[in-house]
Structure 1
């Protein structure tokens, strides 16, 4: 009889410790790659019979780096959702991505986030040319963390102060930068020097064109430092542009600017330097423009043109 009473007491004690609201479980997707559904705004991770997914507008993931120490913060809401599911068998993207997900296997447990914040820290994915030291942005890595997130479970709640969802990577097409050095030309309506390549253009506006591009043969290159008075920019349009496009007023609607990257201000002897070498060319002069250790920036993202990028050559006449 005493033995039976002891067992009953033990069961009662266990039940008393479980208040029906908090039972700690653990979900771990640290080693799983995050992917996006092609047909809807869902970022997901699949591990055997489990899925962890975020319903969030893809416009949240900007093609730019976030400021150091200042991640993007999105509160969990009725439109931004985090859900965990466990199934009775192995699952695939067919259980999450189609408009009408597969009915099998069956969901045996679901957790729904009721509060918390999604923090996103974005950094550029770059490749480096080891010969020229030029860098190319090929995508962005978005590091996702849930802060103070609470899940409603079938048997209570689960809270994490910090839960690391992990990296969601986006691949981008690299900028063409396909310039022919012989295509350089001075604008017919300003002192800006251009190099055109279809829908992309390099534009350099010097502080003093006549000095930098003097009609005299050089023994050592003339130099200028990129800054507010010597501006350099790379622009990518959705259609072909040329000198006439930039000289027209008003600006034609035949091409729309998609991207603009501005050169980072230089530091004498270190970076952001422009060198111009001049030789004779028939009755005129040919000026070859070199960009030395120049970086371009858009938003918080930068990439380098390398140690020596040839802008192009222009011809001037006395």
Structure 2
């Protein structure tokens, strides 16, 4: 009986463990450069994105998230995900370029093979004036970001703590 029980338990434990449909182990965009189609504007919402071959991380900042700041001070703005800022991770059928996001009519290829929305986290924006006091430099960081797949699985093994820097003009 013992000779039968041990193999049976091993087989049952092997088949009972499932990783589900989750194929993404980590989301890493630290080495990718932040891009945008139009110059960011402090008074409106802004779409920023990072591309890494066939993957993209898209951030849609809420209206006014890139505030005007104060010359001589560091101003910190926080925006919650997903209620204020939308963060989307996409996997494409082949390498993607900025024209996919910036063209009036997006190209037919590549196609989106998977899209996952962030369901939790915080976007932190630190704003300071540059040395010449001509522009505000906004350093965008992510904290506690968690993506949720369609099956309800969470992806929290992220390497995207610093999203990047963008500049806006200091108003006269």
TM-score interval, smaller chain: 0.7 to 0.9
Q: 1:137-152 maps to which residues of 2 (within 5 A)?
A: 137-152=133-148
| CA distance 1:62–1:37, shift in 2 (3 Å) | same
User: Aligned-pair RMSD on alpha carbons?
Assistant: 3.6
Q: Distance in 2 between matches of 1:101 and 1:7?
A: 51
The answer to whether the Cα contact below 8 Å between 2:77 and 2:125 also exists between their aligned partners in 1 is yes
1:266-285 matches, within 5 Å, as: none
Change in Cα spacing, 1:121 to 1:171, as seen in structure 2 (3 Å) is closer
Q: 2:167 aligns with which of 161, 167, 170?
A: 170
Is contact 2:117–2:149 with CA below 8 Å preserved after alignment? yes
Which stretches in structure 1 are left out of the alignment for 5+ residues?
127-135, 174-257, 260-318
- TM-score, length-scaled by structure 1: 0.43
Aligned mates of 2:34, 2:143 — CA distance in 1: 18
1:153 aligns with 2:149: yes
Q: Give the equivalent residue in structure 2 for 1:32.
A: 32
Q: Specify the SS of the correspondent of 1:8.
A: helix
Offset of residue 154 of structure 1: 4.1
User: Partner of 1:46: helix, strand, or coil?
Assistant: strand
Gaps of 5+ in 2: 40-44
Alignment of 1:1-318 (within 5 A): 5=8, 8-15=11-18, 18=19, 20=20, 25-38=25-38, 41-57=46-62, 59-64=64-69, 68=74, 71-77=76-82, 80-126=85-131, 136-155=132-151, 156-159=153-156, 163-170=160-167, 172=169, 259=172
| Contact map agreement 1:147 1:160 (CA 8 A) in 2 | no
Shift, 1:82, TM fit? 0.3
Cα gap change, 1:13/1:117 in structure 2, threshold over 3 Å: closer, same or farther?
A: same
Using the TM superposition, give the Cα deviation of residue 31 of structure 1 relative to its aligned residue in structure 2, in angstroms. Answer: 1.6
- Give the 4+ runs in structure 1 shifted more than 6 A: 21-24
SS in 1 for 2:17: helix
Q: Are the counterparts in 2 of residues 147 and 162 from structure 1 also a CA contact under 8 Å? A: no
Which structure exhibits the higher relative contact order, with contacts defined as CA atoms closer than 8 Å and separated by 6 or more residues? 2
- Deviations 1:101-120, CA, capped at 9 Å, x for gaps: 33311212211012222111
Rate the CA distance shift 1:76–1:32 in 2: closer, same or farther, 3 A: same
The 2-side partners of 1:120 and 1:162 are apart by 18
Mapped contact 1:122–1:141 kept (Cα < 8 A): yes
When Rg is computed on C-alpha atoms for both structures, the one with the higher figure is: 1
TM-score normalised by length of structure 2? 0.73
